[in-house]
């Protein structure tokens, strides 16, 4: 069965601190996709990144970076120099190669205080 675990329920940091959100997944598929979404208080899901299982290169996009480690089945997300606008719930998700449905982790609520 597929499963995504985000062990950190809530994280609170002070502005300008770096913060890493953890994501561990389980799947028997050899081809799969991993995602990160941001959900601000308004509720809509904001797509951040998609990574397929064959691409283990780390990615950086501005203050955001992602570390994909197949050996530990982890896909962690780091925000550098956090800002108050980063406050939101962040979801890690897993999708197989066929059906298209996403399996979401429990979410991590990030609070960045000024």
Partner 1 sequence: GAVVSQHPSRVICKSGTSVKIECRSLDFQATTMFWYRQFPKQSLMLMATSNEGSKATYEQGVEKDKFLINHASLTLSTLTVTSAHPEDSSFYICSARLGGELFFGEGSRLTVL
> Does the protein bind partner 1 through residue 105 (CB under 8 A)?
yes
Query: Please, which residue, 101 or 113, has the CB nearer to partner 1?
Result: 101
Q: Which of residues 33-62 bind partner 1 (CB under 8 A)?
A: 33, 43-45, 47, 50
Can you tell me the distance from the alpha carbon of 29 to that of 43, in angstroms, rounded to the nearest whole number?
A: 31
Contact 100, 2 (CB under 8 A): no
Beta-strand pair 32-39/24-26 = unpaired
> Does the protein bind partner 1 through residue 104 (CB under 8 A)?
yes
Q: What are φ and ψ of residue 85, in 5° steps?
A: -65, -10
Binding residues for partner 1, rule: CB under 8 A, are 33, 43-45, 47, 50, 91, 95, 99-107, 109
């Amino acid at each position: 069965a597929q499963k995504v675990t985000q062990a950190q329920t809530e994280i609170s940091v002070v502005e300008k601190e770096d913060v890493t959100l953890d994501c561990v997944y389980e799947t028997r598929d050899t081809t799969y996709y991993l995602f990160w979404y941001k959900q601000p208080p308004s509720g809509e899901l904001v797509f951040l990144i998609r990574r397929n299982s064959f691409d283990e290169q780390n990615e950086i996009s501005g203050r955001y970076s992602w570390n994909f480690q197949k050996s530990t089945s982890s896909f962690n997300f780091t925000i550098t120099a956090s800002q108050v606008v980063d406050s939101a719930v962040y979801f890690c998700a897993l999708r197989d190669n066929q059906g298209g449905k996403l399996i979401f982790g429990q979410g991590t609520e990030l609070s960045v205080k000024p």
